[in-house]
Amino acid sequence: MTRVIRSVRTMTAWSLALHREGVVIGVVPTMGALHDGHRSLIRRARLSCDAVVVSLFVNPSQFGPGEDFSRYPRPTRADAALCREEGVDVLFMPSREAVYPQGFQTTVTVRELARRWEGAKRPGHFDGVATVVTKLFGLVRPHVAFFGQKDFQQSVLVRRLVEDLNLGVRIVVCPTVRERDGLALSSRNRYLTPVQRRSAPVLHEALQAGRTAILRGIRFGSQIGRAMRGVIETDPKVTVDYLAVCDPDTLEPLPRVTKSAMLLGAVRLGRVRLIDNLLVRLDGR
Ligand code: PAF
């Protein structure tokens, strides 16, 4: 039985009662439109926690003007069914007013980590993410939180947030789940037209071309970047937002790859924006 909780008070009371019994609580923070990527996070949470909470909140503060907040998919019934299927204990669905009540004034600001890549293209996005994640942790009081590697910059930032603000939550980052043709699962994939859907795997192909270049001995970030861009340019329907070769810990661009590199990419197909990444290790880890 999945219990649906909408009230923030009930959520925290439920959690504190379980804390007193020594129950380990895991949370999977989501904005809904759940897919097999979320399913894998829930399953991972079930493995290491006694109780699993899925939070579902389309957070307005992480969407910029002109972004897709109002049309973001909200298939709540299907989301609740997936949670039931996966044996989720609580589906936490607070209202906007509950999360940001009248008089709300305090937000979390992230510095350098939030300024590059996604942050540069979506100003204010990561402050919105950091604020809502901090709020969700305060409301759900989890011991562990599960995030997908697909949103790699977000996962680096959340780890930093937890450390900087001593939030006391263990962060687990789980591998990206992909379609058979390599496209990373994302709630936004459902915006793709059939024609765009056929083009969409080109982002993963570009990142793989970057990895192949590194494994063949190319070390300069600029050359690896060109190898990735060359793949995207084969499809005129796809435009590059950014393609980056960067340090996996700091997300700073790498002029030269020595140990490991995180390849990050974001592209647009019409109005749809897709992101993906690939970690390349040369250190044998
Ligand atoms: O990754 C997401 O779905 C969102 O950014 C998150 C972490 C749920 C915060 O709104």
Measured between alpha carbons, how far is residue 97 from residues 57, 65, 100, 128, 258 in Å? 11, 20, 5, 16, 48
Residue 50: band (very low, low, confident or very high) from pLDDT cuts 50, 70, 90: very high
**What's the one-letter identity of residue 157?**
L
Which atom of ligand 1 is the closest one to the Cα of 148? 1
Three-class SS of residue 29? strand
Determine the residue of 31, 34, 58, 157 to mutate for testing ligand 1's pocket, defined as the one with the most ligand atoms within 8 A of the Cβ atom: 31
Residues 6+ apart with CB under 8 A from 240: 229, 232, 265, 266, 267
Facing residues of 242 across strands? 266
Could you give the CA distance from residue 183 to residue 180 in angstroms, rounded to a whole number?
A: 7
User: What is the whole-number distance in angstroms between the Cα of residue 38 and the centre of ligand 1?
Assistant: 11
Could you give the CA distance from residue 240 to residue 255 in angstroms, rounded to a whole number?
A: 20
Contact 214, 261 (CB under 8 A): yes
With a 6 Å cutoff on the Cβ, whether 30 touches ligand 1 is yes
Residue 284: band (very low, low, confident or very high) from pLDDT cuts 50, 70, 90: low
With a 6 Å cutoff on the Cβ, whether 132 touches ligand 1 is yes
The catalytic site residues sit at 38
Residue 268: band (very low, low, confident or very high) from pLDDT cuts 50, 70, 90: very high
Which atom of ligand 1 is the closest one to the Cα of 158? 7
Measured between alpha carbons, how far is residue 223 from residues 50, 137, 219, 235, 255 in Å? 47, 41, 8, 20, 10
pLDDT at residue 164, rounded to an integer: 98
With a 6 Å cutoff on the Cβ, whether 59 touches ligand 1 is yes
Q: Which structural domains are found in the chain, ordered by start?
A: 3-174 (3.40.50.620), 187-276 (3.30.1300.10)
Which atom of ligand 1 is the closest one to the Cα of 129? 9
With a 6 Å cutoff on the Cβ, whether 151 touches ligand 1 is yes
Handedness of CA 24, 28, 34, 40 (dihedral sign): negative
Could you give the CA distance from residue 117 to residue 251 in angstroms, rounded to a whole number?
A: 9
- Residue 101, pLDDT > 90, answer yes
- Residue 285, pLDDT > 80, answer no
Q: What angle do CA 118, 264, 272 make, to 5 degrees?
A: 60
Percent of the residues in the chain that have a pLDDT greater than 70, as a whole number:
99
* pLDDT, tens digit, 9 for 90 and up, residues 196-233: 999 999 999 999 999 999 999 999 999 999 999 999 99
Contact 60, 69 (CB under 8 A): yes
pLDDT at residue 283, rounded to an integer: 77
Mean pLDDT score, 277-283: 93
With a 6 Å cutoff on the Cβ, whether 29 touches ligand 1 is yes
Query: What pTM did the predictor assign?
Result: 0.97
pLDDT at residue 263, rounded to an integer: 98
Could you give the CA distance from residue 128 to residue 112 in angstroms, rounded to a whole number?
A: 15
Could you give the CA distance from residue 260 to residue 269 in angstroms, rounded to a whole number?
A: 29
Residues 6+ apart with CB under 8 A from 221: 245, 253, 254, 255, 256, 257, 261
**Looking at ligand 1, which residue's alpha carbon is closest to its atom 2?**
30
- Residue 271, pLDDT > 90, answer yes
